[in-house]
Structure 1
Amino acid sequence: MLKLLASYNKEIRDVVLENAPQNGKYIASSIQKEILHIFAQKVQKEIRKEINGSKFCIIIDESRDISKKEQMAIVLRFVDGDGIVREQFLQLAHVKDTTSKTLKEDISTVLSNHELSIANLRGQGYDGANNMRGEWNDLQALFMKDCPYAYYVHCQAHQLQLALIAATREVSEVYDFLKDLIFIVNVVSFSSRRHDELQDS
């Protein structure tokens, strides 16, 4: 990352890597994480500035990462000052579980930390999971109680994925190919030796 920054900025290039003092290479993982954290804060500040107190929508997807932690990606969709619809990734947040109550609390906390009011929420986009789209006590319903204009829309990317899965099942050759491909990827990715052999070939 420092090499990339140094290639664009002479001031940085003059003080990092081989030009850095012997005890200050800035390549330790803790330093790299701190640099990334600073970048993230600056990007998030710019996103807040672009929204500027106006209405916005949230697009949420959660997934378990390689360390078996549930992670929730939060994307904001809004119209900027020039009238252009923008989608900006805001934050990746760790969640204890994926119950609708926990997700709502975590999303509300993230929005609050970024000084974004739920009163300005005008849309919600999630996958079709039951904990997200239910009409009574699920995530979209919980937000609708706080903000009745925060309408739920099933995420188009997830709908496309479901349509593609259904379509590929009808063409056995495509279905078999994708099934075999997934198997190969799983076999290779779970073994560092097989991964290295594939890289070397």
Structure 2
Amino acid sequence: SDESHDSLFKGQFLELIDTLKEANLDIASVIDYAPGNNFMIAPKIQKDIAAACACEITRQILCDIADGVFCVLIDESGDVAGREQMIVVLRYVNSEGLLKERFLGIVSVKETSAKSLKEALEKMLSINGLSLSSIRGQ
């Protein structure tokens, strides 16, 4: 795909950058006045920025849950390559009393048996500092 500056469709990441530039003068200034070799829009940099955003969003979700209880919503599916995946969403009530549902992640699983999904869920929760004992529903 043509991701050049003048392209009508630059790709989702670059379109997002343009939208952010319109909404935030600080972002516009950094992007517009960056040296020619430092735009930070190469595909690898795009992936790194997306990963950093995902980490920050996950951190905010975990802070929102704090030491509270939560429910898990799990779905499993196969991707186009035939690999099995498990999707995890957390449902919880935040400190303001509002019900929230937040996507936690996708993980590849060897199979979709209950045992395999439980092990993958336990690992995902552990990585994020959450415990199975805090689950109050599914």
Task: Tell me the TM-score range normalised by the shorter chain.
Answer: 0.7 to 0.9
Unaligned ranges ≥5, structure 2: 1-15
Residue in structure 2 matching 1:97, options 89, 97, 111? 111
* Cα distance in 2, alignment partners of residues 6 and 63 from structure 1: 37
TM-score by length of 2: 0.80
> Offset of 1:56 from its aligned partner?
0.5
* Cα distance in 2, alignment partners of residues 5 and 65 from structure 1: 32
Are 1:10 and 2:25 counterparts? Answer: yes
Unaligned ranges ≥5, structure 1: 125-201
Query: Residue 91 of structure 1: SS of its match in structure 2?
Result: strand
Q: Residues 96 and 28 from structure 1, CA distance in 2 versus in 1: closer, same or farther, beyond 3 angstroms?
A: farther
Counterpart of 1:166 in structure 2 is none
Percent identical: 39
TM-score by length of 1: 0.57
* Cα distance in 2, alignment partners of residues 72 and 29 from structure 1: 26
Counterpart of 2:51 in structure 1 is 37
> Offset of 1:61 from its aligned partner?
0.6
What's the Cα RMSD here?
1.5
Considering Cα pairs closer than 8 Å and 6+ residues apart, tell me whether 1 or 2 has the greater RCO: 2
> Offset of 1:117 from its aligned partner?
1.3
The list of structure 1 runs, each at least 4 consecutive aligned residues, that deviate by more than 6 angstroms after superposition, is none
> Offset of 1:46 from its aligned partner?
0.9
Counterpart of 2:68 in structure 1 is 54
Per-residue CA distance 1:149-194 (angstroms, 9 max, x = gap): xxxxxxxxxxxxxxxxxxxxxxxxxxxxxxxxxxxxxxxxxxxxxx
* Cα distance in 2, alignment partners of residues 71 and 26 from structure 1: 31
Counterpart of 1:111 in structure 2 is 125
* Cα distance in 1, alignment partners of residues 117 and 75 from structure 2: 10
* Cα distance in 1, alignment partners of residues 106 and 78 from structure 2: 12
* Cα distance in 2, alignment partners of residues 32 and 56 from structure 1: 32
Q: Give the aligned residue type for 2:81.
A: S
Instruction: Count residues with an aligned counterpart.
Output: 123
Are 1:72 and 2:95 counterparts? Answer: no
Higher normalized helix content (fraction of residues): 1
Query: Which structure: larger Rg?
Result: 1
* Cα distance in 2, alignment partners of residues 25 and 66 from structure 1: 33
> Offset of 1:112 from its aligned partner?
0.8
